[in-house]
Amino acid sequence: MTIVPMDYLHHLVRRPARPGRLSRRFAGRLRTSTTKLTLILLSVLLLCGSIAAFSLRASLLAANANLNSSCGWYTVRSGDTLTNIASQYHTTISVLAHANGIHNINLIFVNQRLCLPHSLVHQSGGAGILPNGVVRWYDYQDLDWSNRSQVHTLLYRVATDHRLPPRLLLAIAWQESGWTQHVIAWDGGIGVMQLMPYTAQGINSGIGQQLSPYQLSDNLNLGATYLEWLWNDFHGDLPRVISAYNEGGWSVQHRGIFNWNYVNNVLALMKRLS
C-alpha cells in the first residue's frame, strides 16, 4: 500500500488550474462531438438518399413497364435522323420527340433506343403476319399487287431512307423479282425483294417492328434494312454485299463468294438501271 503524505494532498487540492490544458481538453472534446454529429448527419443523409433512390428506381421500373407495354423499339444507327425515322414510320418528328422526351430534335445518339408507339409499329403490319410476329408462309390472299413504275419510284425513296446507292437496290430488286410484288417463289421468297418468312421475322426482331413482307412498302423497307446491314458489315464491298444478300452474310464471311453468276448479274444491272 502506498502512503501519500498529507502535505502532498494539500498541495494537489490547492494547485491552480492550467488554462491551456483545459482549453485543449475542451477543444478536443468539441472536435470529438462535432465529428460524431457530422457522422450522424451523413448517415441520416445517406439513409434518406437510399430511400429516395429506391423510390425513384421503383417509379422508373413502373414507368418502363408501362412504356414497354405501349412501345415498339427502334435502335438508332449511324446516320439516322429523327426526320428519316419519322418518314420511315409515316409519322412526324413531333410525335417521336414527344414519345421519347426529346427536347432537341437535332440531337439523337447511335444505339439510343427510341419508343415507337404501337399505333406506328403495327400500322404497316397485319397482313400475312401474326400478332406474335410470325410471318405466314405462302399467304397469297394478303399479297399486295403493284406495277413496275410504282415499285421503281418507291425503290428510290427507300434507298434514300436507308442511305444505300439507289442503283444497288434497283438491281437487286430486279434480279430477285423483276420489280414484282405479287409473286411468291417456290421456296417461299416473298415479293419484290424475295424475302423468306424467317428472314423477315429476324429483321423485324432487330428493328422492333412488325412489317409484313406481303405489303409492298414493308417488303421494300425490310429488304433495304437487310441490305443496309450488309453494306455496313462489309464496308461497302459491292461483290460481298451482293453475294451476302443472296447466300447470307455468315456464308460470305466464312466461305467466301460462291454465287458469282448472281453477283455479276447484279453488277451488270447496276450499270443499266436508273
Question: What's residue 251's pLDDT?
Answer: 92
The predicted-structure confidence for 68-89, as pLDDT tens digits, reads as follows: 445 666 778 777 888 877 766 6
Banded pLDDT at 26 (limits 50, 70, 90): low
Instruction: Give the model confidence (pLDDT) of 217-237 as tens digits.
Output: 999 999 999 999 999 999 999
Are 155 and 173 a contacting pair, CB within 8 Å?
yes
Residue 4 — very low, low, confident or very high, per pLDDT cuts 50/70/90? very low
Q: Find all residues with CB under 8 Å of 247, minimum gap 6, and list them.
A: 258, 259
| Residues 6+ away with beta carbon under 8 Å from 114 | 73, 74, 75, 76, 85, 96, 99, 100, 108
Q: What is the H or E stretch that residue 75 is in? A: strand 71-75
- Listed in sequence order, the residues at least 6 apart from 166 whose beta carbon sits closer than 8 Å to its beta carbon are 155, 156, 159, 160
Q: What angle do CA 91, 95, 97 make, to 5 degrees?
A: 125
Q: Which three cell numbers stand for residue 236?
A: 461497302
What proportion of the chain, given as a percentage, has pLDDT over 90?
A: 43
Q: What would the pLDDT profile of 158-204 be if each residue is shown by its tens digit?
A: 999 999 999 999 999 999 999 999 999 999 999 999 999 999 999 99
pLDDT of amino acid 255: 92
Given a cut of 50, is residue 9 above it in pLDDT? no
Distances (CA, A) of 76 to 42, 67, 219: 42, 18, 21
Residue 274 pLDDT class (50, 70, 90 cuts): confident
Domain 124-272 in CATH 3.40.190.10: no
Strand partners, 113: 75
Stretch 255-265: mean pLDDT:
95
Residues forming beta bridges with residue 129, ordered by sequence position: 135
Q: How far apart are CA 62 and CA 47, in angstroms?
A: 23
Mean pLDDT, the chain, as a whole number?
79
